Amino acid sequence: MKNIPVAILGATGYTGAELIRLIEAHPHFEVAHLGAHSQAGKLAGEVLPGVSGRIAAMTLAAADATLPLNVELVFTALPHGAAAGSVFSALEAGKKVVDLSADFRHKTHAVYRAAYQADHPHPELFDEAVYGLTEHARDQLASARLVANPGCYPTSVLLPLIPLLKAGVIDTSSSIIIDSKSGASGAGRSAKTDLLYCELNESVKAYGLPRHRHAWEMEEWALGFAGSETKVRFVPHILPMNRGMLSTLHLSGNSSESWLDILQQAYGDEPFIKLLPQGTLPSTAGISGSNRCDIGISLLSETEVVIVSCIDNLLKGAAGQAIQNANLMFGLDETEGLATHALWP
């Protein structure tokens, strides 16, 4: 029975629209309020050709409009920097919040400033925010009021990395090289020259150097979850595909033949992590539409290993993990409303 009314702020963006799709099919959550920014005042159906029926007929409120009293949970799918004020107001109004932006992912103002080159309006909430990498945060999620949903690149990197760092098999004396690729939806739905069809099509481009903001997030949570001082050399690329993310981690260390067993022990029973047999590597088509992270491992030698990790940036990288976290915040089975299988065979 649907009994938990939710609001989505940023409903006209890619992750907001994905939340609508997931929540419409969710057995307990119900869309009760949609917020937007430049499109506020329009009907959802005018801005989102993919929705129909009751959702299409809902009017988009302003992102800073007063939330309906009955709303219990708010998803903020707003640009980083713009989300913090809405998160603060929602908490003040007594709602639980899952924030998809980067605004509450860091533990200190200093790291936030370094990564985002801005002051934060509500650093007093940093301590309370739970970094929602679900598989490693379940204990805290059950009682959380504010969940900072992880970034898409950090999700794809931290999931394979954390158990290996905890096991102490990775050499962290020099930077870990991470090469990542993202579909264009990772950059959001607003119009930008770089994202025009002719700029993206038939092309692959590296960006974000010398240091992408997600490098801070990866390092902070490698330390946070595994207690390991880790440095990353992270290079993201944008590809001419709609959705999907693939991260290749170049690692060295010891006892490489044990690494798959370490991951198996950590994730063997996880509904949303699929470990591929040694030597088999994942593809973005294999996870598109699912909330899974697929991980493949290839041993180059006794000491050198390549790990490839794939997620759907809009699902395990954003809206899917947000629902997984919200399920736990409301005492529900964490798989409710989420697909384990991909769209393609």
Ligand X SMILES: CC(=O)N[C@@H](CCC(=O)OP(=O)(O)O)C(=O)O
Q: Which residues are catalytic?
A: 152
CA distance to 152, 171, 191, 315, per residue, from 312 (Å): 9, 29, 22, 5
**Nearby residues of 92 by Cβ (< 8 Å), 6 or more positions away:** none
Tokens 């903001």, located at residue: 213
Interface with ligand X by CB under 6 A: which range of 134-142, 180-188, 300-308, 324-332? 180-188
| Nearest distance, CB of residue 300 and ligand NDP, angstroms | 31
Q: Which one of ligand NDP, ligand X, none is in contact with 77 (Cβ closer than 5 to 8 A by kind)? A: ligand NDP
- Other CB atoms within a 10 A radius of the CB of residue 80 amount to 19
**Nearby residues of 227 by Cβ (< 8 Å), 6 or more positions away:** 165, 166
By CB under 6 A, residue 61 contacts ligand NDP: no
Torsions phi, psi for 31 (to 5 deg): -70, 120
* Contact residue for ligand NDP among 4, 22, 48, 77 (CB under 6 A): 77
Q: Which one of ligand NDP, ligand X, none is in contact with 208 (Cβ closer than 5 to 8 A by kind)? A: ligand X
Please say which residue, 101 or 248, places its beta carbon nearer to ligand X.
101
Q: Which one of ligand X, ligand NDP, none is in contact with 181 (Cβ closer than 5 to 8 A by kind)? A: none
- Other CB atoms within a 10 A radius of the CB of residue 325 amount to 24
Q: Which helix (H) or strand (E) holds 22?
A: helix 14-24
Q: Which helix (H) or strand (E) holds 205?
A: strand 205-206
In the three-class reduction of DSSP (H, G, I as helix; E, B as strand; rest coil), residue 304 is classed as: strand
By CB under 6 A, residue 180 contacts ligand NDP: no
CA distance to 196, 205, 227, per residue, from 274 (Å): 34, 28, 25
By CB under 6 A, residue 247 contacts ligand NDP: no
Please say which residue, 242 or 258, places its beta carbon nearer to ligand X.
242
* Interaction residues for ligand NDP, span 123-162 (CB under 6 A): 151-152
By CB under 6 A, residue 86 contacts ligand X: no
Interface with ligand NDP by CB under 6 A: which range of 116-124, 263-271, 292-300, 311-319? 311-319
* Contact residue for ligand X among 45, 208, 224, 289 (CB under 6 A): 208
**Are 306 and 152 spatial neighbours (Cβ–Cβ below 8 Å)?**
no
Distance of CA 219 to the CA centre of its chain: 16
Tell me the C-alpha distance between 339 and 320, whole Å.
9
**Nearby residues of 49 by Cβ (< 8 Å), 6 or more positions away:** none
By CB under 6 A, residue 44 contacts ligand NDP: no
Interface with ligand NDP by CB under 6 A: which range of 8-16, 251-259, 272-280, 285-293? 8-16
Interface with ligand NDP by CB under 6 A: which range of 22-30, 274-282, 313-321, 331-339? 313-321
Please say which residue, 20 or 141, places its beta carbon nearer to ligand NDP.
20
Which tokens hold the place of 322? Answer: 């947000």
- Which residues would be at the binding site for ligand X (CB under 6 A)? 101-102, 151-152, 182, 186-187, 208, 236, 238
- Which residues would be at the binding site for ligand NDP (CB under 6 A)? 10-16, 36-40, 63, 77-80, 82, 100-101, 151-152, 185-186, 188-190, 313-314, 317-318
